[in-house]
């Protein structure tokens, strides 16, 4: 039994002096980081094993609904050996007025990794990464969904055996999935990304600028139009997302009529007989995609959903590198 009158033991400083990696934007990653994470996701999908998070604790804080991403990170953390604490929208004292800064200071003293989903600005997440000792993973913010893009690239890498030179047609809103996908694909040599987005719902200007800067270095190309005319002659991938994305709001009352032409229909996909179809799910059959496309032989959407867990494992392992006890 410890004698409380004894000289206290010398305890290590907190936060511990160990690297804390975070992924809040695709642009937080170097080119080798991006390539390594994509390849590692494919390796996990092929059966690779790791206990890289043994002895660590992962917090899963989702302020918005999630099926795939929350399950992927929870299951992935458990498979990597971590303990998991899940927080719902009203579980933290943020709901009673505590500041993000104070919450971040508390969590950084108890957790090793924090996976966050919020409809707010990603700057909120950066507050949690600032105290030190805590790795923060953006599981979707208002601006960007970087872990979805990593999952998407791993899915394509697994299917095609390469990313370089792929031709991708994205149809739908320039939302947080589209922003992350653009940043990631434009770092892959020779990729051609064609965005077809409704007027008023295109890729934000800042993401255009950042994606084009990557494209200038990699030799990739990015093109965006706000109609469905003169589509590319050949593509390898057709991608769409749900029209009512979690955390986003429409700024026009007649937005459905604006979005209506931007559907992935059977005839559209039939124009590209060698192409695969991707969707980040959940899907609304009969809105952004025909049921025959989503459930058809060219669809990788449900493989893509399963790949999210393997990609989450790659992200968690990378963020926790050097931190295992």
110-137 pLDDT, tens digit each: 999 999 998 788 898 999 998 777 999 9
Stretch 152-175: mean pLDDT: 98
Say how many Å lie between the first and final Cα of the chain, rounded: 25
pLDDT at 17 over 60: no
pLDDT at 68 over 80: yes
- The fold of the 147-306 domain, in CATH, is Rossmann fold (3.40.50)
pLDDT at 24 over 70: yes
- Residue 38's beta-bridge partner residues? none
- The fold of the 26-144+309-319 domain, in CATH, is Rossmann fold (3.40.50)
For 115-171, the DSSP string reads EEE-SS-THHHHHHHTTSS-EEEES--SS--HHHHHHHHHHHHHHHS--TT-EEEEE
pLDDT at 140: 95
What is the enclosing helix (H) or strand (E) of 85? strand 83-87
pLDDT at 20 over 90: no
Residue 163: pLDDT band by 50, 70, 90 thresholds? very high
pLDDT at 11: 37
pTM of the predicted structure, to 2 decimals = 0.92
pLDDT at 223 over 50: yes
Query: Which sequence spans correspond to the domains of the chain?
Result: 26-144+309-319, 147-306
Pairing status of strand 135-138 against strand 276-279: unpaired
Residue 141 CA: distances (Å) to CA of 33, 64, 122, 187, 246: 21, 10, 6, 21, 10
Cβ-proximal residues to 41 (8 Å cutoff; 6+ apart), any chain: 150, 151, 154, 157, 307, 310, 311, 313, 314
> DSSP 3-state helix, strand, coil percentages of the chain (rounded to 5)?
40, 15, 50
Q: How many residues does the chain have?
A: 325
245-290 pLDDT, tens digit each: 755 678 888 999 999 999 999 999 999 999 999 999 999 999 999 9
Q: How far apart are CA 266 and CA 144, in angstroms?
A: 29
Check for a shared fold between 26-144+309-319 and 147-306: yes
3-class DSSP state of 299: strand
């Amino acid at each position: 039994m410890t004698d409380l009158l004894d000289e206290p033991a010398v305890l290590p400083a907190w936060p511990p002096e160990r690297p804390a990696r975070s992924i809040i934007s695709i642009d937080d990653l170097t080119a080798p980081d991006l390539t390594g994470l994509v390849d590692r996701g494919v390796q996990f999908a092929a059966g690779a094993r790791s206990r890289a998070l043994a002895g660590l604790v992962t917090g899963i804080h989702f302020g918005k609904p999630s099926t795939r991403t929350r399950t992927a990170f929870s299951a992935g953390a458990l498979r990597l050996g971590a303990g998991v604490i899940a927080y719902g929208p009203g579980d933290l004292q943020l709901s009673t007025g505590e500041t993000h800064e104070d919450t971040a200071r508390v969590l950084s003293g108890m957790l090793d990794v924090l996976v966050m989903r919020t409809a707010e600005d990603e700057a909120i997440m950066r507050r949690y990464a600032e105290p030190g000792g805590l790795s923060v993973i953006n599981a979707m913010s208002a601006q960007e969904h970087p872990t979805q893009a990593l999952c998407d690239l791993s899915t394509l890498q697994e299917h095609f055996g390469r990313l370089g030179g792929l031709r991708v047609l994205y149809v739908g809103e320039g939302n947080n999935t589209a922003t992350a996908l653009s940043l990631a694909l434009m770092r892959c040599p020779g990729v051609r990304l064609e965005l077809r987005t409704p007027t008023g719902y295109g890729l934000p200007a800042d993401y255009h600028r950042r994606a084009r800067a990557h494209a200038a270095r990699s030799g990739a190309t990015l093109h965006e139009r706000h109609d469905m005319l003169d589509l590319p002659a050949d593509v390898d991938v057709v991608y769409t997302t749900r029209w009512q994305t979690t955390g986003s709001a429409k700024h026009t009352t007649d937005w459905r009529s604006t979005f209506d032409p931007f559907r992935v229909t059977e005839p559209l996909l039939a124009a590209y007989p060698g192409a695969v179809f991707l969707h980040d799910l959940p899907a609304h059959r009969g809105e952004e995609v025909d049921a025959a496309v989503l459930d058809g032989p060219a669809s990788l959407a449900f493989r893509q959903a399963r790949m999210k867990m393997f990609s989450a494992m790659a992200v968690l392992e990378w963020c926790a590198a050097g931190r295992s006890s």
